[in-house]
Amino acid sequence: MIPELLSLIGIAAFAVSGAVVGVRRRLDLLGVVVVGLATGTGGGVLRDLALNVSPPAAFTHWPTLAVAVGASLGVFVLHGRLSRLRRLELVFDAFGMGLFAATGASYALDRAAGPMAAVLIGTLTAVGGGVIRDVLVNEIPIVLRRELYAISALAGAVLTVALVAATGSLPLSTVAGVILAVGLRLISLWRGWHLPAPKNR
Amino acid sequence: MIPELLSLIGIAAFAVSGAVVGVRRRLDLLGVVVVGLATGTGGGVLRDLALNVSPPAAFTHWPTLAVAVGASLGVFVLHGRLSRLRRLELVFDAFGMGLFAATGASYALDRAAGPMAAVLIGTLTAVGGGVIRDVLVNEIPIVLRRELYAISALAGAVLTVALVAATGSLPLSTVAGVILAVGLRLISLWRGWHLPAPKNR
Amino acid sequence: MIPELLSLIGIAAFAVSGAVVGVRRRLDLLGVVVVGLATGTGGGVLRDLALNVSPPAAFTHWPTLAVAVGASLGVFVLHGRLSRLRRLELVFDAFGMGLFAATGASYALDRAAGPMAAVLIGTLTAVGGGVIRDVLVNEIPIVLRRELYAISALAGAVLTVALVAATGSLPLSTVAGVILAVGLRLISLWRGWHLPAPKNR
């Protein structure tokens, strides 16, 4: 129950980040909804393909669709009042990423995936929506550009899987994983933390 | 039978649109065939992944492959006589999109998908090939740029699913869905219909 | 055993080509690893989705992950000593492509795919990793740009499937397919062989 709820919040957060990109790129109403929907549901569809859940939940579970479309429409209607679109996109993307890292991992465990597969599927779910969004609008994916992005997703998924093994509680472990992934990403954005880059030659 | 035939025509139409893009971008013979093949079969492969048809029909059904490769080769051979490549691409894309919206939905119903899943899988099948084509050649996908594109696909898929529920006839419902989707898209292209875009701020 | 080993070498080769692109694009440590990992494992994940292997082997088979991450880290650490990154990328990509064409085809045969499906899945495995790499960093995929790329993959997959049918030996057929695909690609790069392109009009 709690993982499902967190997953829906993640869908909304990612859909907002996608719709904000659509507004920033001046797409029309439907383009904004399409990017929002693809960003909000893309990670979960990849997760379901990897786990052989058919059809993927996004195609059969109406709340998923309603939340993603509703969040995108909300951005389209309200965008005139929104300022600093780029910052908004990054913050909502951080929440989507962190929520999906933990809920993707717990979803995989719940479907009998092993610990390594659960960690990797959680990470894939977390970064997948953002990659789809950025590839659609022809930008370098945020996972390649930004401070501690994939590492935050990986940390959240690892913590979730480790805590499930230690405590047996899926809901608590998922919440802890979300807090770690979102917190690490937001702090690294705020403080400008980053990993070493290749030196100029 | 009729849905299969319409699906093959959709593959040919999408392959032509992809091959035309390849010619426009001055790819070599094989590049043109690869874009044509990926555009013609991409939507159906996504559809089969979502429906867990394994291997996807494009990998096992030789007419699919023959039609997509043949249409691409035809464009490569004839392109010197073709004028207005951009318009040609848009018109063939409209036919591919509309044919796949309706046949994708009826194919999903035929494999026991629920009505909501059938509508969404039809829409995915319809827009998938074009997205793959445009991402391959580094353009913003047509579904994000263009007049009433996704809405035409959605309308065709909804009509197909609704008519199957009302009449029980898959072939007739599919034909009606194709006519609606292709017609709506072509009229919106011709008349320049479009949805509201974000106002400049 | 031999196909598995060749497949791991292919993962390493593709991961190197992806990590080299990441270094060339000045991504940070994690960006380099993410591109290397996606390039090294992407083709195999597409292959497993097509064959309904769930979860894909890259998510459950730790050597796959270790080889892809290790090769990417190696490039990051050593890149200061590497010269001519573009040539390095093309040569490692050629090995990854050729190894995956043959091992992808033999893997599909081993999972009861028909000959046509095995050829197509081998080709998809071979070109998939490179397409993912190039789409991630916003370049036109090498399969669309380059001399005899897809044709080399196709030739390697066809030879593998034909020799398995003729001799029944998966390992020998796979080795022969690798040699043909890698050799054809390297020779065509070296000699500048290419297919006809559309004439300027």
- Is residue A147 within 8 Å of A90, Cβ to Cβ? no
Cα separation, B89 vs B56, whole angstroms? 26
**Band of the pLDDT at A191, cuts 50, 70, 90?**
confident
Chain C neighbours, 3+ Cβ pairs < 8 A: A, B
Positive or negative torsion for Cα A98, A100, A102, A103 = positive
Across chain C, mean pLDDT equals 91
Contacts of C33 in chain A (CB under 8 A): 150
The reply to whether B66 touches chain C by the CB within 8 Å rule is no
pLDDT of res. B54: 87
Amino acid at position C153, single letter:
A
Answer whether residue A81 shows pLDDT above 80: no
Average pLDDT over residues C94-112: 95
Q: Mutate one of A54, A119, A195 to test the C interface: name it (highest C CB count within 10 A).
A: A195
The reply to whether B76 touches chain C by the CB within 8 Å rule is yes
Residue C195 three-state SS: coil
List the single residue in C with minimal CA-CA distance to A148.
C30
Residue B144's closest CA among A24, A13, A27?
Answer: A27
Length of chain B: 201
pLDDT of res. A201: 45
**Which are the contacts of B132, defined by CB distance < 8 A and separation ≥ 6?**
B38, B39, B42, B43
Length of chain C: 201
**Band of the pLDDT at C193, cuts 50, 70, 90?**
confident
Average pLDDT over residues C173-196: 90
- Is residue C42 within 8 Å of C58, Cβ to Cβ? no
Answer whether residue A51 shows pLDDT above 50: yes
Residue B93 three-state SS: helix
DSSP labels, C82-132: ---HHHHHHHHHHHHHHHHHHHHHHHHHHTT--HHHHHHHHHHHHHHHHHH
Contact A199 C34 (CB under 8 A): no
Q: Mutate one of B45, B53, B120, B123 to test the A interface: name it (highest A CB count within 10 A).
A: B120
Residue C77 CB neighbours (<10 A): 10
Range from A102-116, A135-149, A163-177, B85-99 carrying the lowest mean pLDDT: A135-149
Residue C14's closest CA among C3, C25, C6?
Answer: C6
Answer whether residue A184 shows pLDDT above 90: yes
Average pLDDT over residues B4-15: 94
pLDDT of res. C201: 45
Average pLDDT over residues B175-180: 97
Across chain A, mean pLDDT equals 91
Contact C59 A121 (CB under 8 A): yes
**Which one of C22, C59, C65 has the shortest CB-CB distance to A50?**
C59
**Band of the pLDDT at B62, cuts 50, 70, 90?**
very high
**Which are the contacts of A191, defined by CB distance < 8 A and separation ≥ 6?**
none
Answer whether residue B140 shows pLDDT above 50: yes
Contact C195 B22 (CB under 8 A): no
Residue B191 burial (CB < 10 Å; 0-12/13-18/19+)?
A: exposed
Answer whether residue B177 shows pLDDT above 90: yes
Average pLDDT over residues A89-102: 95
pLDDT of res. A146: 66
Contacts of C34 in chain A (CB under 8 A): 143-144, 150
- Is residue C39 within 8 Å of C15, Cβ to Cβ? yes
Average pLDDT over residues C16-26: 93
Contact C51 B54 (CB under 8 A): yes
**3-class secondary structure per residue, chain A:** CHHHHHHHHHHHHHHHHHHHHHHHCCCCHHHHHHHHHHHHHHHHHHHHHHHCCCCCHHHHCHHHHHHHHHHHHHHHHHHHHCCCHHHHHHHHHHHHHHHHHHHHHHHHHHCCCCHHHHHHHHHHHHHHHHHHHHHHCCCCCHHHHCCCHHHHHHHHHHHHHHHHHHHCCHHHHHHHHHHHHHHHHHHHHHHCCCCCCCCCC
pLDDT of res. B147: 73
The reply to whether A168 touches chain C by the CB within 8 Å rule is no
Contact B50 A35 (CB under 8 A): no
Residue C81 burial (CB < 10 Å; 0-12/13-18/19+)?
A: exposed
List the single residue in B with minimal CA-CA distance to A75.
B198
Contacts of A54 in chain B (CB under 8 A): 50-52
- Condensed to tens digits (0 to 9), the pLDDT of residues C40-58 reads 999 999 999 999 998 999 9
List the single residue in B with minimal CA-CA distance to A28.
B197
The reply to whether B136 touches chain C by the CB within 8 Å rule is yes
Name the most confidently modeled range: B134-148, C39-53, C137-151: C39-53
- Residue for token pair 């048809």: B53
Contacts of A74 in chain B (CB under 8 A): none
- Is residue B86 within 8 Å of B24, Cβ to Cβ? yes
The reply to whether A145 touches chain C by the CB within 8 Å rule is yes
Range from A80-84, B67-71, B178-182, C183-187 carrying the lowest mean pLDDT: A80-84
Cα separation, A109 vs A113, whole angstroms? 5
pLDDT of res. B116: 95
Answer whether residue C200 shows pLDDT above 70: no
Answer whether residue C13 shows pLDDT above 80: yes
Average pLDDT over residues A21-47: 93
pLDDT of res. B134: 94
Answer whether residue C141 shows pLDDT above 80: yes
pLDDT of res. B148: 87
Answer whether residue A83 shows pLDDT above 80: no
The reply to whether A175 touches chain B by the CB within 8 Å rule is no
> How many A×B Cβ pairs under 8 Å?
77
pLDDT of res. B22: 93
Range from A113-117, A147-151, B54-58, C157-161 carrying the lowest mean pLDDT: A147-151
Answer whether residue B107 shows pLDDT above 80: yes
Contact C23 A198 (CB under 8 A): yes
Contacts of C192 in chain B (CB under 8 A): none
Contacts of B54 in chain C (CB under 8 A): 50-52
Answer whether residue A2 shows pLDDT above 90: no
CA distance A168 to chain B (A): 31
Answer whether residue A117 shows pLDDT above 80: yes
